[in-house]
Structure 1
Amino acid sequence: MSIHDHDCRTSRGEPFNLRALRGQVLLIVNVASQCGFTSQLRDLERLYRRYRDRGFTVLGFPCNQFLRQSPESAQAFCRFGEQEYGVTFPLMEKVKVNGHDTHPLFAELKREAPGMLGTRMIKWNFTKFLVGRDGRVIRRFSPRDGEAELVEALEKALDED
């Protein structure tokens, strides 16, 4: 199974076809509006604008599981991202990334790229998963990893066929 085989929804609750992104490099991130890392939305947008013409997409999924740092609806988060950080990359449905209600996409991401010491838990907002054109997870990045840490792996993934 590849990442593209999972069902997900837009911030408005409409079905989103991940299969349409086959052949693109993806960065899938659990995002939040009231987190110390929220300013990374600006960095993610900068990466998206810099590389989208080379087949790169960022997908942001709001998540409220970490100290309730994203209590608003997915649509409200979308407005927030656009107004405060100029976000134009797709912001998706609000999801759970841990626990028995984990969104299947994040369950797959965690299975393919466990964290430190093999843990499958996501420990905080802005955990990032780099996915290759083939739908396989290349690497998991911690919330602390920003634009500088992502560029080398992202460029390598974009250069691969």
Structure 2
Amino acid sequence: MVMSQVAGGVETSSAVLSTPVAANRDALTYFAARLSFEADVSDVHADLELGLVGRAFALVDSRSDESWEQGRIPGAVHLPTRQIARRAAEGTLGSLLPAGMPVVTYCWGPGCNGATKAALELARLGYPVKEMIGGFEYWVREGYAYESARGSRNPTTDPLTAPAGGAACAC
């Protein structure tokens, strides 16, 4: 534990500072790199509202057929992770994802690494790629509309994940 001074001169042990804070140059490199690999659901939603999904980048749902039918983000392309390499080998991937187009992948949620696997496969094929953190779970929890086999849905915002009442977190 690191001893630190707090107001009033009282020393305390800090669990947070038991591993030293990174040097500023290292923090700059790390956080800039992290943002180049990830997008969050609110940024994807903002771009969807601006009509950029499918134009500026492709949004890829990497889940199974059953999951796709249960619910998906409007404008997403359905490309299950396990089909990426096969479709590339068959020459049919380009009909879904034009060569060189940036791609944002998503899967179920934070407990699933399917979007990471899909992003890796697409990067191997030369696509510029990011992963949408939070996945479909956080899309729905933040109250964004989605499509399903039964039509469009407008879920209620989970106040533990986003501001209630449609307010933006403005982060």
Query: Could you say which TM-score interval applies, normalised by the shorter chain?
Result: 0.3 to 0.5
Q: Report which of the two has the higher share of helix.
A: 2
TM value normalised by structure 1: 0.35
Higher alpha-carbon Rg: 2
TM value normalised by structure 2: 0.33
